[in-house]
Structure formats: structure tokens, C-alpha cells
Chains A and B, each alone.
Chain A
Amino acid sequence: MLIEPTTNPKVTYSADGYLAMDLLRFTTAGSVDDGKSTLIGRLLYDTKSIFEDQLEAVERASRQRGDVYVDLALLTDGLRAEREQGITIDVAYRYFATPKRKFIIADTPGHIQYTRNMVTGASTAELAIVLIDARKGVLTQSKRHGFLASLLHIPHILVAVNKMDLVDYDQATYERIVAEYTEFASKLSINDLTFIPISALNGDNVVNKSDRTPWYDGPTLLHHLENVNVGASRNLVDFRFPVQMVIRPHQDFRGFAGQIASGSITPGEEVIVLPSGKNSTVQAIVTASGDLPEAAAGDSVILTLSDEIDISRGDMIVRKHNLPQVGNQLECIICWMDEEPMNLKGSYILQHTTHQVRAFINEINYRIDVDTLHRETVKTLQLNEIGRVKITTTQSLFFDPYQLNRSTGSFILIDPTTNATVAAGMIRRRARGLDEVVPQQPQRQASSNVVWESSQLTRGARERQNGHDAAVLWFTGLSGSGKSTVARQLEKRLFDMGSHTFYLDGDNIRHGLNGDLGFSDQDRKENIRRVAEVARLAFEHGNLTLCTFISPFAADRASTRSLLPEGRFIEIYVKCDLEVVKRRDPKGLYAKALRGEIKEFTGISSPYEAPVNPEILVETDVQSVEEIVDLIIEELVRRGLIQL
């Protein structure tokens, strides 16, 4: 018999402990015969999630097939058609739990309809296990799995190098696979990549640490699953509440039922209802077990508002100072899931949050070859193909880019005739018209009789000598969002790389050059105008010029941008939830502003117009300073401004 339990943990259920367990949804991917079913069987078996009658059934089935051993893979394979063909053709869900965590596995089959199934399984997963057969090494499929996982934005990827028993637990073989896959993964946006050498068949490093891999000192697979940070894909910043239905049992109660898509909310907060744009305040967060002091992403609740506003299914309630994007022209990545190819002439129904609208696919920009990652020009998308398209909807949607918000950045397309779900989509951003891409040049004031004196030394000459291009890195964001912290770290890194830098900081400038200015809209504008001119001088002298200014108004930032050549103004939006900065409040300013001691304070009593399409967006409430600096450096390299 093939199955031998590597452990037999005596699970005693403390009922209260059970209530504290959290949840990890993960997906498994591997080519046929890499051992995916065996691994899942092993996890279920070793965590005592298999019962005797199930085991008996599998033993019976194995005997009927004439197998000499009990095939753990049979534990997990469902429908008769599949059993007969010996393949799995649809996503299957499996469950197991340890005293620490409950797990939901979206088990996606290896080949047929692979992309469609993997995308489906990945859409709700927080971790993906990619299996690699140690004998075969990194195959095209292994890369495809990694690519799809990163496309769907799964925060954690675990590469299980399986069948180590068949390569004599050889460290060098393992290391080679790790190196090759790491190299490949660097081209994708993967936050967390972990490798573990295992034998699913023998159980090495699955639940128990193997003594046959003394050279490996990382966690076992189960240990990793139990300890990986869950919730990394939840956006806890941007409050979005798509209204599912209105609850109105009697005249005196009018509540809006829904599941919070992202962010959190407390009673008393000011909100705006989209699309009407009406303001109100959250009165209560109602549930059958009483009102809640706070609710967050994932919670199904009912909100009541302090004003009578006409709201219906498909509307969205958001915070006043944190709005989603609005638009009916979207740039998206879609995965086609229907036998019938995409029809550019037809119309579809687009389901986004709790909203259904008519949609047209205007153009296909390209198809992505999931194996080579090459972009190809095509006329349509077929089943299991992925491409970038432009979509127009008959009504505007309220959305966030998928990168930032899986719930409000995703949608499905439905064929209005068959009602089949034909595609899964991820919104990249609002499609932009030409007028937005080429902004109007605002009039610059020039003092009379002044001509621009160009120095003998051109910027080009300075740039060649410096070994990098000049640029203005403009950090905008709320007070306390971390602009200066990030900029200082970045400047240090750039300096260490031998770059020429110049740093303009909001507070310092206001002590001197702009000491005469206050915080009225007019003075803020003048503040930025002066700074922009100084930044431009520094830029012309070949510097990477870092500017950290709240710069709340889009118009002022746009006019600064217009002073510089195309591609040299890098707007870096340092995003941080207002609630978080209020709590951080490093300089005590929010406290003062909230007490009314500071007038016209951005975010409290003066607006902040968030950049719509910044060159770089960083989030200090979810990313570390180190990560952010890395990300900015990478982007500068990608843009060819600096070289590593």
C-alpha cells in the first residue's frame, strides 16, 4: 500500500480555538503528472481530513482499475467522466483544517481548459502552489502557472519542487530549479516567492521536516501554509460598498445591504453615494446580532445613513475623500472562457460588483502568449486566450485598478443570448482620450524683458557626464503619508549609486524661500509655482530632483509637469488612507486641524485631489519603505532614466 501517514496528529478541538481560526484560500497548479493530486491527497491524509469510508472507496476504485497500489490521487478526483478519462476537467474545491487555520483549495486541472480553470481558481486565492517535477525542471507550463498567478495578483507563490526522491534529494538539482525560476519570476510582479523541496509521495517536507534534505532549512509546506500572512490581497484602505439590495421592512427603517468590497467604515463617517453624488453620514452598521462599531472588507452588513437618499442595487457608497475612478471606457485584460470566440461586433453584459451594464469590446490591443509572454496582434480571442482590450459600457462604472483592488477592479462578461459567462476581466485603468494624454499647456507668466539664459554647459552634456538622465520626481500625498521618509531613503540610495540629486522639501522651503506664503488656495498655488521653477533649474543642471510637497491640486501639478520635457516629470503618488495618517499624525497636525486650530488643512478642511494616473503609485500603509524605494528605483530603470 502506498499511503502511509507521516503523522497522525491527535487533533483535539478546543471549540473556542476553532472560532479563532482564520482562513487561507489557495490554488494548486501543475502539469499533468507533476504530483498535484498526490500532494493534495497527502495534505488531506496527513491532516486527518480523509475518512475511512473515503479511503475504502478509493481502495475499491484502485482495485477495479487494476492498480497494484492505492492511488492517493483518486481521493480528489470527482466526476465519472473524468475518472473514466483519467483526467480532471474542472476546478474542484477541497477543504481541510489544522488547529490553526482552515484551508480551501481550488484544485485546477493540468491541461485541458487550463487557463480558464486556473484563472477561476486564482480569482479568490491568496496563495498559489506551483508544482515542478524535480526531474523535469522548469517547464514552459511552470512559467505559465507563475504568469497567471501574477496576472491575477495572487500575493504569495509557493513553488513546490516535487519528486525529490527521484533525484536522490539532490541539493544541486533543487538549487538549479530555484535559480532558474527566480530569474523568470523577476520579470513578473510577484511579491512573495517561496521554494520548498518535497516528495508528495513519501511526505518529505510536506507536513514533517525531512531528514533526507539536511541542506534545506526552510519551513515544511504545511508550516508555510499555516503561517503565511493572510489578507494581503485585501484592500483595507479604500472603502467601497456596492449596494446589493435595499432593506425596508417598515417606514422607519431603510438600510442598504451589501458586502464591504474593500476598506473599512465606522458610524459617523461622511460618505458619498455614487452615481448620485449625494452626501450623507453613516448612521449605523446594522447586523442581526446588534450594531457594529466598525466593519471592514469582507463583512456582510447593512448600513443606514442619516439622510433620506434614493439608493438602489448597483450604487456604491464610498468615503467622501477617497473616491474610486469613474468611467465608461476601460482598458482591461480579459481571459476568454467560452467556446464561442469573442465577437467585436456584438454586445455583452458586463457584471461588475452588483451592477450589470451593456458593454462593447471596441478593440483588441494584443493577445498575450501565456507561454512566451509575447504580445501578438490578433482579430479575436478564443477560448483560454488572454488579451488586452478596450471596453465601452453604456453606463459609467465606479472602479479601481485591479492591481489595487481585486473586488472593484474585476468583472465578468455574459453573453446576452446564451447567458453564459464568457470572459473574466481585470481593469487596468480608464481608457484615456488624446486630450487627457496631451494636456493643454498653461500660460506661464514671464517677467517682461527677461530671456532664458542658457548655460554654456547643456543638460545633455551634464547627463552624459553624470551617467544618468535628469528628472523631477514629484512626491504628492497627504501630510504624514510618508513622502519625505520615502524621498530621503530614495535619495540616499541614488546617492550611493553615484547619482546627482537635489532635494526640495515642503517644510524647508516654507521656512525660507516661501516664508511669506500661507495656506489659502492662492498661496498654495504660488508655493508650488515657485518650487516648480526651482525644480526646473535643478533639473536643467542634470539632477535627479526630488520634491516632496502635499501639492493637493491637480492643476498645480499639471502646470509643473508642463515645465518639463515629456517623460521627465515623474509623479509619485504617496498614498495612505486618511484614517491611517490621522492615527499616525507624526507632527500632531491632524489633531490640531481636527480641533480647528489649523485652518485649511488638507484632508480635513481642504481637499486633496488624488492623481488619476500617476507615473508611480505607492502605498505606505501596505508597503514598507524598503519595498517602495525598490519599486521606484525599478521604475526609473525601466524608464531608462538611470542604470543599475
Chain B
Amino acid sequence: MSSYTRSHLKQLESEAIFVIREVAAQFTQPVLLFSGGKDSIVMSHLAQRAFFPGKMPFPLLHIDTGHNFPETLAFRDKLIDKLNLELIVRYVQDSIDQGRVVEEKGHDPSRNGLQTATLLDAMAEFKFEAALGGARRDEEKARAKERFFSHRDAFSQWDPKNQRPELWGLYNGRKQAQEHFRVFPLSNWTEMDIWQYIRMEEIDIPNLYFAHEREILIREGMIMATFRGIITPLPSEKTEQRQVRFRTIGDISCTGAVESAAATLDDVIQEVASARVTERGGRADDKRSEAAMEDRKKQGYF
């Protein structure tokens, strides 16, 4: 009965689709958080599949920090167009202008921490009950215990001690009026699974993920793309042209590049297979403290 055995990738896909559908069935107002990175592109693809031939029954929400790569935004708009999806964008700049948050001090401040407030405001504005995200457990130690259905209290706080046990495939999405859930259908995927799935399904991804020439500088040991007003060279920093690519795509201010010649998906996969640092190794925000991620999660970061 070999026809009944399924590859692990197919099993992960079925699991993710099941979870996405549970969200659509258990909540009246879900939303899919879209960052433009490969995980959220894979999420959109899976959500597309989950309801085929029907349409994805919820919108996408992008929290724009103003520090996005232009390629990310162009790719996002093309994708929305192609798949005929509904996109909501909310801007961190607006939160700053309204005095909800204050820009960090110092040279080239990151807005990564600020987006939490914008996100929570958007959740409240649209009364979203569940936000689907593309986070994976293998990304970071603090995520290893994260649930598929992650409960957030009325203040959007994540209490590690108050998470519901998840058994078999039974997900409990019951909640009080003010509470909401973050849901992570890709929990069991690894970075390699994502790449392999992109290859298997022939999913389009931004060119930033492939090797290209660009102006960079080295800051705190990381290769950063230079951008006026976001990554601005200090007098002591020298810029140079290098062939690089990105393993994750977040804000320009905190996404490190890697030197690479990987021009195709197969090259990228080969590189991922022999990589000696995690993909988050290139993210400045995590380096700050060992428990950085945990702290941000408690505040409602996705």
C-alpha cells in the first residue's frame, strides 16, 4: 500500500491547510499577516490552496514600517493583483505621527519594535479575532514551545504559563470577546522545508533571495544593505559593492545579507543545506539579548 505513504512535505502541507481551515471555521474575523518574506508568501500560497476553488475568506494585513525593501512592496502588490486578494496596509509612520509610539534614539534606529503597536491598533480597528502568521518553531529557542493556536489576552499579551495544551489535531479557539489568537500553521516547518516547498510548488519569490550585486557596509559583523535614511554609512564605515542575497527579508534596518553566488533555487537550497549559522543569525534585533524574542513575544510581537 505504498500509495498511502506521504512525504513529510505533503504531511506538513496537509497539516498547515487543516490549521488554516480551522481558523476560517472557528473565527468570524481572521486575518493573514503578510510581511513580504518567504514564510508569508508560502502562507498565502497555502491559504489559496486551502479554499480552492473558493477564495481565501479573509484579507491580508501588512504592517509597513517604512523600512521595507522596494522590491518587497513591488512583489507584494504584484501578488495581490495576481491572486485577486484583499490587502490592508497600516503604517508605523502613522503611529509615530499620532504619538502612539516614539522613534528610537540613535543612529539608524530600527522600527521593528514599534510595529507591535501598529499591529495591535489594526487588530482593534478591524476587530480581528485571529491573526495567521508564518512563524516557525525552529526559528528561535523561545518559539520551540509555541502553540499552533497561541492565545493572547485582552492586552494582547502572551503568557507562556497560560497556553493551552494541544493534543492530537484538536485546536481550541474559544475565547472571550476582547481576546484574540495568533495562529502559526507553519509551526512544524524548518527553513529547509520552506525552500523545498517553494521549489516543489514553483512559488514566486522576490529576487532579493537570490544573489545580486548591491552596495553594502559591514556593521556589528553583519552585512547590511545601504539605504538613505535607514542604513546610512557612518564616517568610519566604508561601503562596497558585493554579491549578496538575503535568507530572511524583514526591515532594511535589521536584515543582514549573506555573501552568495546562489542564482537559482537549487543553489539556494544547497547553500541552506551547508549553512553554518541560523537564518536569524543575520537579524540584528535578536542579537541584543538572549531572551530578546521572548520579551518581544510577551508584548505582542508576532
Contact = CB atoms under 8 A, between A and B. Distances in A.
Contacts of B18: 244, 259, 300
B13 to A, nearest CB: 8
Contacts of A247: 51-54
A337 B170 CA distance: 15
A296 B10 CA distance: 12
A349 B270 CA distance: 49
B176 A419 contact: yes
Interface stretch (B69-77, B85-93, B136-144): B136-144
Interface stretch (B35-43, B113-121, B273-281): B273-281
Interface magnitude class on chain A: 35 or more
A412 B172 contact: yes
B196 A412 contact: no
Given A15-B266, A90-B160, A349-B174, A23 B11 contact: yes
B294 A80 contact: yes
A366 B91 CA distance: 58
B188 A18 contact: no
A420 B164 contact: yes
Given A22-B7, A78-B141, A298-B6, A12 B273 contact: yes
Interface of B: 1, 3-15, 17-18, 21-22, 24-25, 48-55, 137-138, 141-142, 144-145, 160, 163-170, 172, 174-176, 187-188, 190, 192-193, 196, 199-200, 266, 269-270, 273-278, 280-281, 290-291, 294
Given A76-B144, A296-B3, 14 more contacts: A18-B9, A20-B7, A23-B7, A52-B281, A53-B280, A93-B144, A93-B187, A97-B192, A119-B167, A120-B165, A231-B5, A236-B4, A245-B21, A288-B48
Nearest to A420: B164
B278 A244 contact: no
A19 interface: yes
Contacts of B199: 15
Contacts of A20: 7
A76 B141 CA distance: 7
A404 interface: no
Q: Which 7 pairs between the two chains have the least Cβ-Cβ distance?
A: A23-B8, A288-B52, A249-B54, A419-B174, A92-B144, A123-B167, A13-B273
A124 B22 CA distance: 18
Contacts of A104: 188
Contacts of A117: 165
A51 B281 contact: yes
Nearest to A23: B8
A91 interface: yes
A495 to B, nearest CB: 34
Contacts, number: 193
B190 A95 contact: yes
B145 A92 contact: yes
A155 to B, nearest CB: 15
A411 B171 CA distance: 10
25 contacts: A12-B270, A13-B273, A15-B266, A19-B196, A22-B7, A23-B7, A23-B8, A23-B12, A51-B275, A57-B290, A91-B145, A93-B187, A231-B4, A245-B25, A287-B49, A288-B53, A296-B6, A300-B18, A351-B170, A407-B169, A410-B167, A412-B170, A421-B166, A421-B167, A421-B172
Contacts of A419: 172, 174-176
Nearest to B190: A95
Given A51-B281, A61-B290, A102-B8, A300 B17 contact: yes
Contacts of A297: 4
